[in-house]
Structures are given as C-alpha cells and as structure tokens.
Copies of this chain bind each other. A is one copy, B any other.
Amino acid sequence: MEKMTEKGTTVDMVVSMLTERINKGDYSPGSKLPSERKLQEELGVGRLALREALSRLNALGIIETSHGKGTFVQNRLQSSTIKNILIPHFALSDSKRLQELVDARAMIESEIAGLAAQQRTKADIRRLEMILEQEVDSSTPSELVAYLDLQFHQELALIVDNHFLVLMHEALTAHIRTFLNGFVKSRNNPVEVLEAHRPILEAVKRGDAEDARSLVRLHISYSRRDYENFIEKTKE
C-alpha cells in the first residue's frame, strides 16, 4: 500500500488522478473513459470509491455519463454547471445576495463592451451596425426590437471571445431570470434602446473602452430597477 503518500481519502485520490489525466490529455475532451470495471482495476480501488469520484467530476461538469454507453469527457464548461453551484448559495429568499448577482451581471456586460472596444475588427462593427439599422427602421415590430437588444449584447460578447465572461454572464442571467420573472415585461422601451445603442456602438467603433463601459452601465440600469421593483412587490 503506497496510498499513504497521497492525500485525503481514496475518493479524493481518484478524483485528482482522473483530473490529472484529463488535464494531461490522456483522456481528451469528447473521448470515452475506460469502463468503470477497467478503471477500478487500473486504479486499484473499489467500484464505490470510483463511482463517487465520477459523481464528483460529474457535478463539476467535467464528465458526463450515459447509461449503457459510457463516461465521456466534457469539452466545455457549461453555464448550467455554474448555475447549479450558485443556486443553493444565492437563493431567492436572500435579497441581499440576489442584488449581488444583479450587480455582478451589470459589471460583466459593461466589461464585455469595454473589451469589445479594444478588440473589434471592421467586420464586427459592420455586424453591429446592421443590427442597429434594423432597430432604427420604423417598420420593425417592437417584439423584434426587444430581440435585437439581446442580439446587440450577444454580438458584443462574440467579439470579446472571453469564454469565462460569457459563461458567467449566461449563468447569472439564467439564475436571476428565474427569480425576477414577470418583472421584465416593459423594460425594453424601444426609444430607450435606440438612444443607448448608438453611442455604445460609436464608443466601440473608435475604441474608447472607458466610454463603452460607462455607457453600457448606464444603459442597463434597468437591471437595478427591475430588482428594486421585485423587492417592493415581495414586501407587500
């Protein structure tokens, strides 16, 4: 038994062994892990310890198992994984914590615009301008304007290509939405959107990260209004 050199329990050991192999590339993303029987034999542990370790990796979004098929290495961290982690710790009841998440989301959206201003190409700007033109077009129905608002911010995220920020933003948005549902109906005032997007695009165009950040921050102040409305109503 040389397991004493390792740290913690058998499960901890197996977890670090597997993560190491995955990080080293022994098990590449998308590929299939050896079967549980082979793994437990190979690592010299019982099946229970192995399955507990796999459960942990599953919770962290590192692997995914299908009954009858096998266990596969996930290639990308899913925003749902982050969301699952947030749920128990930033729950509905705690309004303080909910506000923290709203603030954090505003921060990320602002940062994305700032980074976009630094990294945008001509093609990026062209795409943003096309979206804006559609928004300005008076023949565009208001429902579509709401969609284009979202599209505008997603396009910015695409330019930045920061996996971490996009992931966090997705997780926060999904998490917050479940709580603030029903308070987001009238927030996409078309006029407001139009007045906001033009200067943001201009800032991105001329590469002014500072300006882009503060303009977005102003634009999405509705997040805070939504939140305050929510708190008001729950107090009644």
Contacts and interface: CB of A to CB of B under 8 A. Distances in A.
Report the copy number of this chain in the oligomer.
2
A198 interface: no
Contacts of A62: 88-89
A73 to B, nearest CB: 9
A115 B103 contact: yes
B52 A162 contact: no
Interface string A207-235: 00010011000000000000000000000
Contacts of A91: 23
Q: By DSSP majority rule, is chain A's interface helix, strand, loop, or mixed?
A: helix
A13 interface: no
A88 B55 contact: no
A135 interface: no
A214 B114 CA distance: 11
14 contacts: A23-B91, A52-B52, A55-B55, A56-B58, A56-B59, A57-B59, A59-B60, A60-B84, A61-B85, A61-B89, A76-B89, A90-B164, A103-B162, A107-B165
